[in-house]
């Protein structure tokens, strides 16, 4: 596994990838400590595509990512993470609606847990999932980061309306 650090408006992001695709994007704040595995090798040149697409996202000119992904998780987690990719830029959905989207309408708590274990935040937009009443609930990168990402997307979403 190779890794790099990518500077961003929400702080330094630790990106890790294997031969298949991007496996992790660790945020600087929140409940998970940002740290490369000791077996990983730093290789900044291996992340030019990730760095470029994140720069475009943070500049407000990219609404979707086109990167090979290789997140590790259970089949249910992978279904949830796949559903997150369908949430449009600048919009939000609830845990309950996501549970329906993955075919498990009574599993909103399990969706919340899978959302919290998303290893590739921002690119797999778990920040777009909110409480049923629209409230901002937990976020692995901290609520301030979630608020920032949602405000950033809201401020640029009108630029892409058709």
Q: Residue 118 pLDDT > 80, yes or no?
A: yes
Query: Measured at the alpha carbon of residue 67, what is the angle toward residues 63 and 68, in degrees to the nearest 5?
Result: 145
Q: Does the predicted model carry a pTM greater than 0.85?
A: yes
Which are the catalytic amino acids? 126
pLDDT classification of 159: cutoffs 50, 70, 90: low
pLDDT classification of 142: cutoffs 50, 70, 90: confident
E-strand stretches of 2-117: 2-6, 13-17, 22-26, 41-42, 93-94
- For the segment 74-83, what is each residue's pLDDT rounded down to a tens digit? 999 999 999 9
Domains of the chain, earliest start first: 2-59 (3.30.160), 75-160 (1.10.10.10)
- For the segment 23-36, what is each residue's pLDDT rounded down to a tens digit? 999 999 876 668 89
pLDDT classification of 161: cutoffs 50, 70, 90: very low
Radius of gyration of the chain (CA): 15
Distance CA 71, CA 65 (A): 15
For residue 106, count CB atoms less than 10 angstroms from its CB and return exposed for 0-12, middle for 13-18, buried for 19 or more.
Answer: exposed
């Amino acid at each position: 596994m190779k890794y790099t650090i990518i500077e961003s408006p929400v702080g330094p992001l630790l990106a890790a990838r294997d031969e298949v695709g991007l496996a992790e994007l660790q945020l600087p704040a929140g409940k998970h400590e940002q740290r490369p595995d000791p077996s990983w090798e730093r290789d900044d040149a291996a992340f030019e595509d990730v760095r470029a697409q994140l720069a475009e996202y943070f500049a407000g000119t990219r609404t979707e990512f086109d990167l090979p992904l290789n997140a590790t998780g259970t089949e249910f987690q992978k279904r949830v993470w796949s559903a997150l990719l369908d949430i449009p830029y600048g919009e939000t959905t609830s845990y309950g609606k996501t549970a329906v989207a993955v075919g498990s309408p009574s599993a909103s708590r399990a969706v919340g847990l899978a959302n919290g274990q998303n290893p590739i935040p921002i690119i797999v937009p778990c920040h777009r999932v909110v409480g049923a009443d629209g409230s901002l609930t937990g976020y692995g990168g901290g609520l301030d980061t979630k608020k920032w990402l949602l405000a950033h997307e809201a401020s640029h979403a009108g630029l892409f309306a058709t």
